[in-house]
């Protein structure tokens, strides 16, 4: 079937909504008199809750709730009623007082939150409810005109409002929630947050296509002498307030979902020739109230590591907190300075517990690279920063780890996206923002042939889980600090790779990062190798890759010519530490400032003795009689372990331009073979292990991450009411 027909049918299914039934409308067509027409409000700094006739300002200790459990994507909304019931109890016990949702959930969400809050009237979980603005998948952002999306977005606004009031029935449809919405959960909705992180190009193109649209006068809001995109947002907020008020007699605070990319602050360290993060603005302070007594508030998804100016701005770096320098605090204080007469809610903030970091913050608040244990420090630090800078509070991102996601640095090598949710990518920050994670079952180990029944290495096993490639080395004696154990990985074809695994004892220091390191060991008889793990028990366990198969710089256009992004047959050629480039060197518009490129040496794997404290990033655990090794799949250039696909790219068919996120070409691996050498002597070469693939995500075990209990302690120490 033609793809245009498929897309058209999908769109029709998505729009098949039955007209609301059982509406709260009286016989004369006027809205029923509500119990409280203004249940929530705003001050200059906070959202407020009306209690016993008085509005009390609240500091929002929020949590963002996505519900794509392993094996599902966001649009499936697969969380069960039991999940919601359990999660709401956990959220409340952790100290959260608000939930942020991005879009309409299934009726079970509203049924569960209404029941929970009725049973906990003194400590409810308020809702900050989003109304999602669809992206246009077949267009680039600079082709999008927001005014062309108005009708569909207005329908979405009406639908969400009616459903939250328990006043809508929606037919089954693809990619969105549906069902009979009969429970009125509106009493718990503190405010509406409309939209998403709109790209700068969408704003600029909307302005370009509608130059005459500069003002708007509505029932609730007006705006004058503004950009067309700002007028568009004002119109949508006005419709939302007018629709809810005319239909249900209630008005509550409203907001636009935005991010620093569109903030109204000038950032001179951001060079517009190298970045699109400071080229467009949406400024909610231009919106004036006509008849909107509940008010308006600003919502920003603001993290301590993105965009670059939050990290780089010299004035921001002057700020400190009890933990040390804190440029994030500087940014939020300046942002709140612009919104001095409007509550500023940080709709998303957080750090990821992925093994690899894709962006560095200032002073260890990064996008990834944080062990779970770091949440005990970084979580409190970020939430305290939002309090100290005068914001209305923040919503931590996120509640659960979601496997369907990708991020800019892994996107070209962890696809296809429709299979991504079937396995867990520990290298991808976007999959690892949750306070709850999902542990996968331990693998079934495949035992290779015996090595030396009386030797230092007795035999070797390998296994594959949905998160790691595992190796278990059984020892005849404990490794000493003077030993060097090297494990070569032949990852996909017997005739490709280097025949000599590295047996060097080079110190792994910053000065050697990125150098081509030549091996000096024996030549293997049977196996070749794309990767090698060098273990020196005293101080290091480093993962290396052959120069030809090194993907470093692929996304940033800084690769050497010898990097072919595929394996080739070599004899004693160069090896490099596994790493990637987080950012390019950049020179902003300030002449006296220059920022070097940044990297993550992810090949420096965490190692510990078995009796030492565990860490969520432990890759090598040394026991007296065996060694347990686990390596995230992406570290071995595996694109999709569930169907055995690995990178086998071609530089000749690479990028068309920097914005072309071309996917790496792949092949199916024949399996992984291992070569073990100890102190420059090859002990064994294994046969090839090809694990059993899978088409569905495995059964998992939900778990609260290490560090969260300490984070929870801080949440309870933060204020609840601000009066």
> Helices (H), strands (E): how many in the chain?
12, 41
Question: Does residue 192 lie within any of the structural domains?
Answer: yes
Point out the least confidently predicted range of 22-31, 101-110, 508-517. Answer: 22-31
373 and 503 fall within a common domain: no
Phi/psi at 260 (5° precision): -55, -30
Close Cβ partners of 349 (under 8 Å, ≥ 6 residues apart): 301, 302, 303, 304, 382, 383, 386, 394, 395, 396, 397
**In terms of domains, do 493 and 472 share one?**
yes
Instruction: Say if residue 502's pLDDT is above 90.
Output: no
- Same domain for 485 and 426: no
Give the residues across from 696 on adjacent strands: none
CA distance 430 to 368: 8
pLDDT at 684 exceeding the cut of 70? yes
Report residue 410's pLDDT band, with 50, 70 and 90 as the boundaries: very high
Instruction: Out of 73-77, 113-117, 228-232, 524-528, pick the least confident.
Output: 524-528
Lowest-confidence region among 328-332, 389-393, 449-453: 449-453
Whether residue 337 sits in one domain with residue 238: yes
Structure tokens at 400: 């659960």
Count the neighbouring beta carbons within 10 Å of the beta carbon of residue 373.
18
The percentage of the chain sitting over the pLDDT mark of 70, rounded to a whole number, equals: 91
pLDDT category of residue 221 using cuts at 50, 70 and 90: very high
Nearest CA among 233, 240, 331, 242 for reference residue 284: 233
Dihedral (CA of 419, 423, 428, 433) sign: positive
Question: Which tens digits make up the pLDDT trace of 615-647?
Answer: 999 999 999 999 999 999 999 999 999 999 999
Q: Check residues 349 and 584 and name the one with the higher pLDDT.
A: 349
Q: Is 70 exceeded by the pLDDT of residue 18?
A: no
Residue 72 has a pLDDT of 97
What dihedral angle (degrees, nearest 10) is formed by the CA atoms of 419, 420, 421, 427?
Answer: 160
Q: How far is CA 610 from CA 462, 543, 621, in A?
A: 19, 20, 6
Instruction: Check pLDDT > 90 for residue 519.
Output: no
Its pTM stands at: 0.93
Closest to 723 (Cα-Cα) out of 11, 40, 48 = 48
Confidence of residue 595 (pLDDT cuts 50, 70, 90): confident
Nearest to 266 by CA among 248, 281, 276: 281
Same domain assignment for residues 407 and 493: no
pLDDT for residue 27: 38
In this structure, the answer to whether residues 457 and 386 fall within a common structural domain is: no
**What distance in Å separates the CA atoms of residue 512 and residue 488, rounded to the nearest whole number?**
21
Q: By percentage, how much of the chain surpasses pLDDT 90?
A: 80
Q: Is the pLDDT of residue 495 over 90?
A: yes
- Measured CA to CA, the distance from residue 546 to residue 413 in angstroms comes to 18
Helices (H), 278-425: 308-312, 314-317, 327-338, 375-388, 417-420
* Domains in the chain, number: 2
Block residue for tokens 């005990």: 376
| Stretch (H or E) spanning 162 | helix 150-164
Q: Kindly indicate the confidence band of residue 20, based on its pLDDT and cuts at 50, 70 and 90.
A: very low
Residue of 593, 560, 598 lying closest to 581 (CA atoms): 598
What are the tokens at 365? 């608040």
Mark whether 524 and 386 lie in a shared domain.
Answer: no
Q: Is residue 214 included in any domain, yes or no?
A: yes
Burial 100-117 (b: 16+ CB within 10 A, else e): bbbbbbbbbbbbbbbbbb
Task: For residue 722, count CB atoms less than 10 angstroms from its CB and return exposed for 0-12, middle for 13-18, buried for 19 or more.
Answer: middle
Q: What are phi and psi of 57, to 5 degrees?
A: -70, 140
> Contact 484/535 with Cβ under 8 angstroms?
yes
Q: Identify whether 30 is part of a domain.
A: no
Mean pLDDT lowest among 133-137, 206-210, 368-372: 133-137
Token pair recorded at residue 527 = 């196996």
pLDDT tens readout for residues 79-100 = 999 999 999 999 999 999 999 9
Q: Is the pLDDT of residue 173 over 60?
A: yes
CA atoms within 13 A on the CB side of 479: 29
Question: How far is 135 from 429, CA to CA, in rounded Å?
Answer: 22
**Angle between helix 150-164 and helix 228-248 axes, rounded to 10 deg:** 30
Q: Are residues 74 and 189 in the same domain?
A: yes
Query: Is 558:581 a contact under the CB 8 Å cutoff?
Result: yes
Q: For the chain, what is the mean pLDDT?
A: 91
pLDDT higher than threshold 70 for residue 17: no
Distance (Å, rounded) from C-alpha 620 to C-alpha 643? 26
User: Phi then psi for 129, rounded to 5 degrees?
Assistant: -100, 125
| 395 and 277 share one domain | yes
Answer whether residue 681 shows pLDDT above 60: yes
Q: Where are the beta strands (DSSP E) in 430-510?
A: 436-439, 446-447, 457-464, 468-475, 485-490, 497-498
Q: What is the pLDDT of residue 253?
A: 98
pLDDT value at residue 517: 74
pLDDT higher than threshold 70 for residue 213: yes
Please report, for the domain that includes residue 144, its CATH number: 3.20.20.80
Structural domain contains residue 10? no
pLDDT recorded at residue 363: 86
Q: Is residue 658 part of a domain?
A: no
- Answer whether residue 23 is part of any domain: no
| Domain-embedded: residue 56 | yes
Higher per-residue pLDDT: 431 or 660: 431
Average pLDDT in the 542-567 region? 93
- Split at pLDDT 50, 70, 90, the class of 225 is very high
Which alpha helices (H) appear in 339-463, and where do they start and end? 375-388, 417-420
CB-based contacts of 510, cutoff 8 Å, min separation 6? none
In a domain, 27, yes or no: no
pLDDT digits (tens, 9 = 90+) for 266-324: 998 888 878 899 999 999 999 999 999 999 999 999 999 999 999 999 999 999 999 99
Three-class secondary structure of residue 285 per DSSP: helix
Structural contact between residues 491 and 528, judged by C-beta atoms closer than 8 angstroms: no
* DSSP codes joined into one string, 20-42: P-S-SB-TTSSBPPPS-S-SEEE
pLDDT value for 138: 67
Q: Tell me, yes or no, whether 327 and 377 share the same domain.
A: yes
Cα–Cα distance for residue pair 305/152, rounded to 1 Å: 34
pLDDT of 447 reads 93
Enumerate the β-bridge partners of residue 299. Answer: 257, 345
Model confidence pLDDT, tens digit, residues 436-470: 999 999 999 999 976 777 789 999 999 999 999 99
How far is it, in rounded angstroms, from Cα 532 to Cα 543? 6
Quick one: the chain helix, strand, coil %, rounded to 5?
25, 25, 50
Task: Determine the Cα–Cα distance for residues 540 and 547; give it in Å rounded to an integer.
Answer: 21
- Looking at residue 28, its pLDDT comes to 41
Together in a domain, 529 and 433 = no
d(CA 612, CA 374): 17
- Collapsing DSSP states into helix, strand and coil, what is residue 665? coil
CA 722, CA 56: separation in Å to the nearest integer?
Answer: 7
How far is residue 445 CA from its own chain's centroid?
31
Give pLDDT, residue 387.
98
| Residue 7 pLDDT exceeds 50 | no
Do 421 and 511 lie in a common domain? no
273: containing domain: 39-438+703-717
């Amino acid at each position: 079937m033609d793809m245009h027909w498929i897309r058209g049918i999908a769109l029709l299914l998505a729009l098949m909504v039955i007209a609301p039934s059982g509406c709260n409308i009286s016989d004369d067509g006027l809205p029923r008199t509500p119990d409280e027409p203004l249940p929530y409000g705003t001050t200059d700094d906070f959202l407020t809750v009306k209690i016993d006739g008085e509005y009390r300002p609240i500091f929002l200790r929020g949590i963002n709730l996505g519900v794509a459990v392993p094996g599902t994507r966001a649009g499936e909304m697969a969380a069960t009623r039991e999940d919601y019931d359990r999660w709401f109890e956990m959220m409340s016990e952790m100290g959260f007082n608000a939930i942020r949702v991005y879009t309409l959930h299934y009726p079970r969400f509203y049924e569960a939150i209404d029941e929970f809050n009725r049973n906990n009237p003194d400590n409810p979980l308020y809702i900050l409810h989003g109304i999602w603005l669809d992206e246009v998948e077949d267009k680039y952002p600079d082709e999008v005109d927001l005014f062309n999306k108005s009708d569909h977005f207005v329908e979405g606004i009406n639908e969400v409002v009616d459903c939250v009031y328990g006043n809508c029935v929606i037919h089954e449809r693809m990619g969105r929630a549906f069902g009979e919405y009969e429970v009125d959960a509106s009493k718990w909705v503190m405010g509406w947050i409309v939209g998403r992180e709109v790209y700068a190009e969408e704003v600029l193109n909307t302005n370009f296509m509608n130059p005459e649209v500069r003002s708007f006068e509505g029932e609730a809001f007006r705006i004058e002498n503004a950009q067309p995109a700002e007028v568009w947002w004002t119109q949508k907020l006005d419709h939302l307030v007018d629709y809810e008020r005319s239909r249900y007699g209630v008005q509550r605070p409203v907001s636009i979902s935005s991010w620093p990319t569109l903030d109204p602050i000038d950032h001179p360290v951001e060079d517009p020739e190298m970045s699109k993060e400071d080229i467009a603005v949406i400024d909610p302070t231009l919106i004036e109230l006509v008849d909107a007594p509940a008010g308006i508030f600003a919502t920003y998804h603001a993290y301590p590591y993105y965009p670059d100016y939050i990290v780089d701005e010299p004035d921001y770096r002057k700020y400190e907190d009890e933990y040390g320098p804190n440029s994030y605090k500087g940014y939020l204080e300046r942002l709140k300075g612009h919104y001095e007469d409007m509550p500023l809610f940080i709709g998303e903030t957080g750090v990821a517990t992925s093994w690899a970091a894709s962006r560095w913050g200032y002073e260890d608040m990064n996008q990834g690279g944080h062990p779970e244990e770091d949440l005990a420090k970084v979580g409190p630090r970020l939430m305290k920063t939002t309090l100290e800078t005068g914001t209305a509070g923040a919503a931590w991102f996120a509640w659960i780890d979601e496997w369907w996601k990708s991020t800019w640095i892994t996107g070209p090598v962890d696809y296809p996206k429709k299979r991504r949710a079937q396995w867990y990518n520990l290298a991808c920050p976007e999959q690892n923002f949750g306070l709850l994670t999902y542990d996968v079952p331990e693998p079934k180990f495949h035992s290779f042939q015996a090595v030396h029944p009386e030797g230092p290495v007795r035999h070797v096993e390998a296994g594959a889980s949905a998160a790691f490639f595992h190796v278990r080395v059984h020892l005849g004696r404990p490794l000493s600090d003077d030993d060097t154990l090297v494990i070569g990985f032949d990852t996909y074809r017997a005739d490709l790779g280097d025949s000599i695994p590295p047996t060097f004892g080079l110190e792994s220091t910053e000065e050697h990062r990125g150098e081509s390191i030549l091996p000096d060991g024996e030549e293997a008889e049977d196996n070749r190798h794309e990767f090698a793990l060098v273990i020196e028990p005293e101080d290091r366990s480093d993962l290396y890759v052959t120069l030809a198969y090194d993907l470093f710089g692929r996304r940033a256009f800084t690769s050497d010519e010898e990097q072919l992004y595929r394996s080739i047959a070599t004899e004693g050629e160069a090896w490099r530490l596994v790493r990637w480039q987080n950012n390019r060197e950049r020179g902003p518009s300030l002449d006296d400032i220059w920022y070097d490129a940044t990297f993550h040496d992810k090949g420096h794997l965490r190692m510990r003795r078995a009796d030492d404290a565990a860490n969520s990033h432990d890759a090598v655990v040394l026991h007296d009689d065996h060694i347990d090794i686990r390596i995230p799949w992406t570290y071995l250039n595996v694109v999709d372990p569930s169907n055995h696909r690995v990178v086998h790219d071609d530089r000749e068919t690479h990028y068309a331009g920097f914005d072309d996120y071309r996917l790496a070409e792949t092949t199916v691996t024949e399996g992984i073979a291992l070569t073990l050498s100890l102190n420059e002597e090859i002990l064994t070469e294994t046969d090839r292990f090809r694990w059993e693939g899978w088409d569905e995500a495995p059964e998992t075990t939900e778990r609260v991450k290490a560090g969260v209990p300490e984070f929870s302690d801080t949440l309870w120490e933060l204020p609840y009411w601000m009066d």
